[in-house]
Structure 1
Amino acid sequence: MKKLCLAVSILPLFGCNNTDEAVLQQSEKHSYTEKYEQVPSPSIRKTRNPVPGHTEVINQPAKKDSIMLDVVLIKQNPELKYGCEVTSLAMVLNHAGVNTDKMDLYRSIQKDPDPIKRGTNGDILNWGNPADGFVGDMTGRQAGYAVFDKPMEALVNQKLPGRAINLTNQPFERLLEHISAGYPVVVWTTGDYRLPDRWESWNHGQQVIKTPLDLHAVVLVGYDANNVYLNDPLSGKKQVRVGKNQFIESWKALQSRAISYK
């Protein structure tokens, strides 16, 4: 979770540790690379078109009513005060069998180098774009903020070439199907998994970055009829139960961002 402090004399806390997330006014939409269609049988029909004019049909198990993945818990602190995104990704990649850790991903993630600039009252005037790379200092030695889905997708492809899945702007049901198939998902939410209620904005070139002051990234590891289950890198809790409808609202408020692998 990331909290913004706007007093000039106090180092601002932005990243997944104590702040919120930056929601771009012009957020990109990304499509899931494969189309899943529910069929009235104990399977999901997965269609793709490797040859023009030809549809290949592959059957795979239907989405389970409930599932819990045993994903290793990794804590972001004390090294990465604002590193919830890469720490969450470290959990997911370890589940995939990749030999990596949060510090490796911290060094490897794309960074947006634009420095923070403040007005005389402490308000942020200019800063980076989390859609381009991590904004600020992830360690917390200086102000830090967040990174969004596209740099995270690129990082998955570094570690698992060609296997990144960007589920951003997909229906939440697609995320549950992906979990059901055995793949944990990094999702963007708020620190308390509720709707954000405080906002900040700054300029980045010709863009205006508008952001809720409570951003967090966690790992979606399971679900049942009424709840989802999360590994939270900040609280250090594994398989945290959160009401499904409440969580979906917070996820949508954060622009429905989600990253995984296949």
Structure 2
Amino acid sequence: MAVKRILRNGLILLFVAVALLAMPYHSTVQTNAVDLNVTLPINCDSPSVELELKQTAAVQPESRYIEMDNIQQLPELPAGCEVTSLAIVLNYLDYSVSKTRLADNYLPCSDDFYMGSDGELYGPNQNDVFAGDPHSNQYGCYAPVIVRTANSYLEECGSEYTASDISGENPEELYRYVLDGIPVIVWATIQMQEIPSYIEWFDFKTGEKLRVPNRQHCLVLVGVEGEMLTFNDPYDPRGIVQYPKSLFEKRYNEVGKQAVVLTAS
């Protein structure tokens, strides 16, 4: 009987040993390796995660076209491309204001030109007022005047929008505005033609000599796609026109990098 008991106990121990050997072996390193593959919840309080999310959200599209109705400056405002461009943008922002209402009620103008005792022509500065009369065929104004015109109208309306002078910005900055959905009022030349000549007079306030490019023009930059740009043009009968970036950039630089945007505060 003792022999049988010993044999039975020996068999039991053998079965237990075999069973233990058959079980999978998990080392600490293996367990850690498995844990590293577990999907962990994102810690939204982590600065690095927040920065990554912000950077992802800030990625701009490579191209964009802001569709809006065009307004022609002719026949009422043969020299009023600047104020008509402003009217195009304001109407896009759902302000039903005409180009002539802006020109007649908000645009500061002066046609005070005269010959000085020195035989030179004197007149107003286009950074201060519209030099001439937009209803006639002379001369024009620059970005600060359109900013004043826009803000006079917008303040009267109690608008959340404000016009800003962004003159001097490099073309790439203008394109970023468009890619963000903001049209840009820009100065160039009619149909991006070469400047044939300049009109010169002296500022009657400061005596500074002013040189105004002939065929200077104002229009609205509304589209960026590859090397092409799209504009709402108040003078061109086609209304919506396209030009290569390189051509626009040349004219934009030649007329002094003038530009205006309207943004919500």
For 2:124, the equivalent position in structure 1 comes to 128
**CA 1:243–1:41 in structure 2 vs 1: closer, same or farther (change >3 Å)?**
farther
Structure with higher strand content:
1
Contact 1:218–1:233 (CA under 8 A) maintained in structure 2 = yes
For 1:172, the equivalent position in structure 2 comes to 171
Bigger Cα displacement from structure 2, 80-89 vs 167-176:
167-176
AA matched with 2:126: P
For 1:259, the equivalent position in structure 2 comes to 260
**CA 1:242–1:160 in structure 2 vs 1: closer, same or farther (change >3 Å)?**
same
- Aligned-residue CA RMSD in angstroms? 2.4
Structure with higher helix content:
2
Contact 2:108–2:149 (CA under 8 A) maintained in structure 1 = no
For 2:154, the equivalent position in structure 1 comes to 160
For 1:219, the equivalent position in structure 2 comes to 220
**TM-score between both structures, scaled by the size of structure 2:** 0.70
For 1:193, the equivalent position in structure 2 comes to 192
Alpha-carbon shift at residue 61 of structure 1 (Å): 3.8
Contact 1:189–1:254 (CA under 8 A) maintained in structure 2 = yes
What 5-or-longer segments of structure 2 have no aligned partner?
1-50, 156-160
Alpha-carbon shift at residue 81 of structure 1 (Å): 0.9
For 2:251, the equivalent position in structure 1 comes to 250
AA matched with 2:221: L
Matches within 5 A, 1:67-78: 67-78=64-75
Alpha-carbon shift at residue 41 of structure 1 (Å): 6.9
**CA 1:60–1:209 in structure 2 vs 1: closer, same or farther (change >3 Å)?**
farther
**CA 1:43–1:191 in structure 2 vs 1: closer, same or farther (change >3 Å)?**
farther
Contact 1:109–1:152 (CA under 8 A) maintained in structure 2 = no
Contact 1:167–1:174 (CA under 8 A) maintained in structure 2 = no
Larger radius of gyration: 2
Contact 2:106–2:152 (CA under 8 A) maintained in structure 1 = no
Matches within 5 A, 1:12-31: none
**CA 1:222–1:89 in structure 2 vs 1: closer, same or farther (change >3 Å)?**
same
- Name the structure, 1 or 2, with higher relative contact order (CA <8 Å, separation 6+): 1
Contact 1:194–1:249 (CA under 8 A) maintained in structure 2 = no
Identity of aligned residues (%): 26
Among 107, 110, 115, the alignment partner of 1:113 is 110
> What SS is found at the alignment partner of 1:80?
coil
Bigger Cα displacement from structure 2, 158-167 vs 252-261:
158-167
**CA 1:195–1:124 in structure 2 vs 1: closer, same or farther (change >3 Å)?**
farther
Contact 1:112–1:129 (CA under 8 A) maintained in structure 2 = no
Q: How many residues align?
A: 204
**CA 1:96–1:43 in structure 2 vs 1: closer, same or farther (change >3 Å)?**
farther
Contact 1:136–1:145 (CA under 8 A) maintained in structure 2 = yes
Contact 1:42–1:62 (CA under 8 A) maintained in structure 2 = no
Deviations 1:137-165 (Å, cap 9, x if unpaired)? 2111xx52101111111222223346212
CA distance in 1, matches of 2:174, 2:60: 10
CA distance in 1, matches of 2:216, 2:135: 16
Bigger Cα displacement from structure 2, 163-172 vs 246-255:
163-172
**CA 1:68–1:118 in structure 2 vs 1: closer, same or farther (change >3 Å)?**
same
For 2:239, the equivalent position in structure 1 comes to 238
CA distance in 1, matches of 2:239, 2:190: 15
